[in-house]
Structure 1
């Protein structure tokens, strides 16, 4: 493909009145597009990987063609049937005629457009349900979303020039999913009003994000995930936040000095506070009566013992613990979590022997021991044999223990020979 489309595609008007879907991909040298706004049945347009395309200007709308056909009407409809689009620019306006662009548009995807700096959101785009923007590094702003009351999914990924979320997002009363991934220039995410339908909020790998503020009550929020934000200093919750929140993941946020108040999160079923080196203590976990899946650590490296944590044991079935070099033992409270079916122990490099109380975890089905470089000894034969439901033992990157668990010849083998599946890597 050269720097222009074939002449028949650039003909005015384009003789494809029955066209329903148009895909233009990999046309990296082309800097302009054919006129397509007048096509009455066009429902899907995809424009991907056009590196030379800096904007979709008014010339693509076919305004003059539509105007001639609708001269006596008060409203001009451009792209009258379009439901899916990638990329564009504002349409022209007149003093006497109302212009509506994309009145039926439901999905807008903008991928791999490195030169685009601004994405307008016309007021006529009230039907928009999904907005997905990806790999647009020059993008610095997105038009207002005040009128997008039907928007359900907003996904913004790898847009390093973006410094703020679109204004008017609080008016997106139907928004269910907000996912922001790898936006390097984003420093703050805050909400000043309720998003009543929001179910899932994900913020991943925004390396300069310093503040996440959720001051308002989000009545439908079920999942909150914040990962890979090393400069994040605080996560602010309302004191009465979210009775529906079931999943909370905070991972690899080493700048975080304190955690949200867990006492109001009584519906929480899954909680992971992993890779947060600034955390020194854990409080409020005792109120999480419905907790089923818990992952903790590593925390502040100068701590010589795991922070005390008390969790109700009746529903907890999955536990992952990540240690750090100073720790020489597992947290004692684990021995009381007798409902556990799966236990994962990782990065306890100061640990040489697993405790005898491990045999108290009679419901244990899977035990994984990973990245414990100095671990040599399992609990006694008697303790291991009390784990009658254990059918999978995984030993991964534990060189000393791996050697001692060698089938038939290892010193620890008699302790685990009754286990149905033993994996050592």
Structure 2
């Protein structure tokens, strides 16, 4: 009831929670840089000094976004929207040009209207937004990290195809987790010529990479619980001339791995986990990986054979865990299986099934 103080010249951070009846202007606070609105407060305007705003658990998220659009605070860098259940249709003109980080978490009725165009945006994190079917993007020259998690109805990440230049020239890290209806990320990957790390987990419908191969800048690739994509990699081969670290998990139909020519010769680390029907480790194919230093195979319960009876001489870190093949390697009296086994922690084996 009533009003907040009119002038708070030293105020830097303001948090308002659970004030559904509060409808007043914020104090005049020239140093206010961090604001959190949680609950039903009506926000008439946003201070121009803001750097960071959090909108949480409020049915009035739309009105707060409209206030951002009207005020366009010139210093605002971080916008965090979470646990908002009301309908939110985000238009990218809600956000000032200064925005660098956008986080949207557990907004069950979220949609986007119009394509995202923000020159300064560096990070996007979206999680738990099941209503989201289409995520439209356009040129983001400074985007460095994009993470999309647990959007169970997401079908398409829209990237313009008629753009002459690369759409995401600065994108380094891309994570896609638990998006079971998303069928392809090829156009997204092709639009990121500087991509260094790509992680795809629990995306059962993604079935291929671009035919022209992955960006030469890619160093780390982690594929977990994506059976169609893993089978595509094994059958078609992985074309990425700069890849140094590869992790593949949960493939259920492969009996022998790797096929000769399947993996890039630049690999330094190879990790294989839970290939449930894998019976044979093809060392002939591994011998072509002359830079391979680390090999870890675990939870392949049918793996008991290896071809060539020889591993690449370049390997200095070896772990064969929860596989029948381990006892065979021990019988060969190769000191590598003993001296380096303790190098690896078994913490990976404690990951949840979703991971």
Question: What TM-score does the superposition give when structure 2 sets the normalisation length?
Answer: 0.77
Find the counterpart in structure 2 of residue 208 from structure 1: 153
1:238-277 matches, cutoff 5 A:
241-260=191-210, 262=212, 265-277=215-227
Q: Per-residue displacement from partner, 1:221-261 (whole Å, max 9, x unpaired)?
A: 33333221001134462897343333333332212355445
2:260 to 311, 319, 333: 333
2:177–2:202 CA contact under 8 A, matched in 1: yes
- The correspondence for 1:90, drawn from 43, 55, 58, is 43
Per-residue CA shift, 1:264-303, capped at 9, x if unaligned? 8444334445433344xxxxxxxxxxxxxxxxx255xxxx
Three-state SS of the structure 2 residue aligned to 1:237 is helix
- Structure 1 residues 181, 56: CA separation in 2 closer, same or farther (over 3 Å shift)? farther
> 2:115–2:136: 8 Å Cα contact kept in structure 1?
no
8 A contact 2:220–2:244 mirrored in 1: no
Tell me the equivalent position of 2:279. Answer: 352
Deviations along 1:362-417, whole A, 9 cap, x unmatched?
54332211121111245566x14x63x4333223333x345x26xxxxx7333433
Tell whether the 8 Å contact from 1:275 to 1:298 is kept in structure 2 after alignment.
no
1:394 maps to which residue?
319
Contact 1:188–1:211 (8 Å) recurs in 2 = yes
Instruction: Check if 1:41 corresponds to 2:7.
Output: no
CA RMSD of aligned residues (A): 3.5
Q: Which has the larger radius of gyration?
A: 1
Q: Which residue of 2 aligns with 1:417?
A: 335
Which structure features the higher share of helix residues? 2
The counterpart of 2:77, out of the listed 118, 124, 129, is 129
The gaps in structure 1 that reach 5 residues or longer are: 1-9, 13-33, 63-77, 92-99, 280-296, 300-304, 406-410
Pairwise CA distance, 1:189: 0.3
The C-alpha deviation readout for 1:18-44, integer Å capped at 9, x for no partner, is: xxxxxxxxxxxxxxxx71453122111
CA distance in 2, matches of 1:274, 1:250: 6
Structure 2 segments unaligned to the other structure (5+ residues)? 347-355
Could you tell me how far apart the structure 1 residues matched to 2:332 and 2:190 are? 53
Q: Which residue of 2 aligns with 1:155?
A: 103
Q: 2:122 aligns with which of 155, 176, 184?
A: 176
Q: How does 1:4-83 map to 2 (within 5 A)?
A: 35-47=4-16, 50=17, 52-54=18-20, 56-58=22-24, 61=26, 78-83=28-33
**Higher RCO (CA < 8 A, seq sep 6+):** 2
Q: CA deviation at 1:198?
A: 2.0
* CA distance in 1 between partners of 2:10 and 2:79 (Å): 22
